[in-house]
Amino acid sequence: MTADELRKLLNPPQLEAVLTSEGPLLVFAGAGSGKTRVITYRAAHLVQAKQVAPWRVMCVTFTNKAAGEMRARLANTMGERARDLWIATFHATGAKLLRRYHEHVGLSSNFAIYDDSDQRAVVNRVLEDRGLDDKQITAKDVMSVIDRAKQEMRSPLDLAEAAETERDARIAEVYANYEHRLHGANAVDFGDLLYKLATLLERDEFVRTELQTRFQYVMVDEFQDTNTTQYAIVRRLVGPHNNLCVVGDDDQAIYRWRGADVRNIQYFTRDYPGAKIVKLEQNYRSTGNILKAANAVIARLGRREKKELFTQQGDGPRVDLWSCRDEREESQRIADGVRGALRAGIARKEIAIFYRIHAQSRPIEEALRVANIPYVVVGGQRFFERAEVKDILAYMRLAQNPNDDVSFLRVVNTPARGIGKTSLDRLTTHARGKESSLWKLIASGDYPSDLPGAARNRLKDFWTLISEVRRVSLGNPRSPADLAVECIERSGYKAMLDADKGHESQARWENLQELVGSMRDYERETAEPTLTEYLERVTLDQGDMQEETDESGRRDNVSLMSVHGAKGLEFDQVFLTGMEDGMFPYKGMNPGADPEEMDEERRLAYVAITRARKRLTISHATFRQIFGQTKVQPPSRFILEIPDEVLSTPVRRPRVGPAVASPSRDETRGASQGREGVRVVYDREESPRPESFGEEVRARAGHDDAVGFRKGMRVKHAKFGIGKIEQVEAGSDVRLTIYFPNLGLSKRVLADFVQPLT
């Protein structure tokens, strides 16, 4: 594809990014600015105009959806040559390269990939064996530590050396034991797909040089979402040629809680001096007023690359702002708003309702049900997480890797075979003492002496069943669907479901039929289908960063989702709900909180706003009952930052003061420089608030119960701490006299600045 052809398809900054082929390149791609278009045309230009062999080009992204879209676009542009490009997610890249170099990391090529539930099963067994119960250390705690350690390239020994408490030391020991068990089962978890690859590239010069020689051009999408380990992989793959193009947006970095480090993109030019920077600021998605709202919110971020989205599509309608009494009124107005959008010709699948946390969805769902509006909640249980689907996949994983103890224990008594927990505990303890897998013990007949004869016979029968399934797999290695049918039949799973005539069993049977159908689709779409590849694809699908729903789920439904789940999506009509301080922003408001949390909340608001194409409605409630408590909170500071001319209803602004930059980066990467500008000062006792908020409070101030406060109630104040209400005063504003034990005195404060605790 020539430069002249590209000029007709791309705007000037996009063209500059596509034609810059050599050396490090950083593309700041604002929301809706066509970043996928840039990546695909850049890859096509390298192959078609620069005559680079397709297999020397690597494109890495975060979700299977993004990778699939990239493949489809390149296939349309390049035809068959696109098949030789390396286009994959980070985790898929890790899986493919670890299988290729499995001997270098001490694995067999058919290693299993454990998902979260498998990981939890192993951790629980380790905790049980070490005599640790949930009151001491929970499996969730351990899994969180292990995941974070692998994101930061820290081994069990690293954690042990850094342990400051006995609890830290115990978790480090559990981590070490967990790793030992995974190795014995010839298995890895999601974190290992990256951690083991990064370690391999760091320590093995042969592998590193071979891959650097092969991949002459590396492109990374959504670079702001990379963690320490992912960035280490990228840097070691690129090597001395430095032909690295990273595309992302620091304004859309919202996955810090999953280990993503926005500093990777903010300090890219420090790691690659002389890197070229291109900014994509023209938005092709949203109307002008929506972009003005988004720009106003993100502009107050302390540390960012300065960008301002613009569009040539016109201003469009103003952003609707709804001030509601409580969450019930808010939900009813949303249902009415959805009806209005439908009457205006907007399809249901083009309407989305966002909230900061999933707990906010309940009243909205109730209002939609009453209004008879079909909807889907994005982020619910996925197909491959359903019990019957995981059961059959576990049988198939055993056929591939019989030393997989997690899969063995999942299905050895599913359907029931009379093999009880006591027998399995004895067998597991015996296997641990022998440092053997359960499969090898049964194959050798090496049973624990206290295992009853009946249990031995049933375990031997199970061993025979799996051996027969393995023979089917080896005899027909390219048909996962045929193997699934064998597993469903031979295991007795079909007979178990047939015996139960209930609706749930019928639904489970239909899910298994859908599972087989997905395998048939895979076989038709893949030149050389294999069981290993199918199982890998299924497992990696569950590791996507985003809470995605397939198009069939959204086909004719309104979508409800958290803002995190909305990343990467777009809708004609968006309702952004619960925009109150304390709800959104949800974090970073308490004294002593990490300022980075507030920064991420701001970026999250920016992402939410920029999902809307044509219409955006923002709502907030004066009173909100959530988690069994009634909260009285002012409108979100993010609302107050949006210009009046953009909103359907103007709001009063708080005073402003000098800007304060976000904290500097850690010493290993250097400090950042502040910037000039303004920040909003939120003195909650003094700053003016929108009239609508005060009016709502005054309207309900006549009765204690109406305002959610009563004498004797325990409440929390952000500055003064926890106290007990001594007096409730109704008037133009509700005022409370509260005794704070930590202060040793009573204070008189406005009701809207405290949170009920009981």
Is residue 136 part of the annotated active site? The answer reads: no
Cα 557 from Cα 2, distance rounded (Å): 43
β-bridge mates for residue 721, sequence order: 717
Is residue 35 part of the annotated active site? The answer reads: yes
The tokens describing 89, both together, are: 């997610």
Q: Is the peptide bond between 650 and the residue preceding it cis, with omega within 30 degrees of 0?
A: no
Instruction: Please give the C-alpha separations between residue 49 and each of 78, 81, 243, in angstroms, as whole numbers.
Output: 11, 13, 16
Is residue 542 part of the annotated active site? The answer reads: no
Q: What is the DSSP letter of 310?
A: B
Helices (H), 12-165: 12-19, 35-48, 64-78, 90-100, 116-129, 139-151, 156-162
CA nearest to 632, candidates 679, 693, 570? 693
The tokens describing 347, both together, are: 């399809």
N-to-C CA span, the chain: 67
Q: What is the DSSP letter of 376?
A: E
Q: Is the peptide bond between 448 and the residue preceding it cis, with omega within 30 degrees of 0?
A: no
The tokens describing 627, both together, are: 């988690």
Catalytic residue among 14, 35, 307, 400: 35
The tokens describing 93, both together, are: 């890249």
What is the CB-side half-sphere exposure of residue 49 using CA atoms within 13 A? 17
Is residue 36 part of the annotated active site? The answer reads: yes
Placement of tokens 């420089």 in the chain: 673
Catalytic residue among 235, 611, 631, 689: 611
The DSSP line for 477-506 is TT-HHHHHHHHHHHTTHHHHHHH--SHHHH
Q: Detail the DSSP E strand segments found in 497-627.
A: 558-562, 571-576, 612-626
Catalytic residue among 118, 189, 192, 221: 221
Amino acid at 480: P
Catalytic residue among 222, 225, 251, 600: 222
Cα 487 from Cα 535, distance rounded (Å): 15
Three-state DSSP at 60 gives: strand
CA nearest to 95, candidates 85, 109, 84? 109
CA nearest to 170, candidates 160, 161, 181, 180? 160
β-bridge mates for residue 377, sequence order: 560
Residue 655's φ and ψ, nearest 5 degrees, are -70, 165
Placement of tokens 């969805």 in the chain: 361
Catalytic residue among 16, 20, 36, 737: 36
Is residue 252 part of the annotated active site? The answer reads: yes
Placement of tokens 């992989």 in the chain: 233
The tokens describing 491, both together, are: 């295991």
Catalytic residue among 40, 151, 252, 577: 252
Cα 464 from Cα 150, distance rounded (Å): 38
Which three-class secondary structure string do you get for 639-707? Answer: HHCCCHHHECCCCCCCCEEECCCCCCCCCCCCCCCCCCCEEECCCCCCCCCCHHHHHHHHHCCCCHHHH
β-bridge mates for residue 618, sequence order: 321, 576
Question: For the purposes of burial, counting CB atoms within 10 Å of the CB of 169, is it exposed (0-12), middle (13-18) or buried (19 or more)?
Answer: middle
Instruction: Quote helix, strand, coil % in the chain, to nearest 5.
Output: 50, 15, 35
Is residue 222 part of the annotated active site? The answer reads: yes
Which residues are identified as catalytic? Answer: 35-36, 221-222, 252, 611
